[in-house]
């Protein structure tokens, strides 16, 4: 009797994670160009000020916090916003070209291992 109950609980939890993941991914896709530009500007500002690589919830800018991220990491000229997912199949938003990098500023949605990445916003240097 315990195995069927545990199996059902696992199925319900996984289904709930997929729903949450789909909602969060759609929330990112629906961001306006000004909202995306604001995300870039706030993370660029943090990178230039020497923010720690793993941002605490208090350090995450409000425009990013509205996405309800699992975590935000800034490394070199990029930021990784973990939106949802577990193990190898995670949804990320990559913010590239921070801190005056030579590359274009861009925001890319990586919706998981089964879907291609999408460039949501780009600012030429």
Tell me: the pLDDT tens digits for 5-49? Answer: 454 444 444 444 466 899 999 999 999 999 999 999 999 999 999
pLDDT in tens, 115-125: 999 999 999 87
Q: Which residue has the higher pLDDT, 114 or 61?
A: 61
Predicted structure pTM score:
0.83
Using the structure block, give the residue that is written with the tokens 């199949």. 89
- Strand (E) positions, the chain? 71-75, 78-86, 89-96, 105-110, 118-123
Distance from C-alpha of 91 to C-alpha of 48, rounded to nearest angstrom? 26
pLDDT category of residue 1 using cuts at 50, 70 and 90:
low
Spatial contact of 92 and 82, defined as CB atoms under 8 Å apart: yes
Distance from C-alpha of 32 to C-alpha of 19, rounded to nearest angstrom? 22
pLDDT in tens, 42-69: 999 999 999 999 999 999 999 999 999 9
- The domain limits of the chain are 2-123
């Amino acid at each position: 009797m315990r195995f069927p109950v545990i199996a059902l609980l696992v199925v319900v939890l996984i289904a709930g994670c997929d729903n949450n993941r789909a909602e969060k991914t759609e929330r990112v896709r629906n961001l306006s160009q000004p909202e995306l530009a604001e995300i870039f500007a706030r993370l660029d500002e943090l990178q230039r000020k020497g923010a720690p690589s793993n941002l605490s919830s208090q350090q995450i800018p409000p425009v990013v916090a509205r996405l309800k991220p699992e975590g935000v990491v800034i490394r070199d000229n990029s930021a990784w916003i973990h939106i949802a997912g577990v193990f190898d199949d995670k949804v990320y938003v990559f913010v590239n070209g921070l801190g005056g990098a030579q590359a274009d500023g861009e925001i890319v949605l990586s919706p998981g291992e089964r879907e291609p990445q999408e460039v949501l916003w780009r600012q030429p240097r």
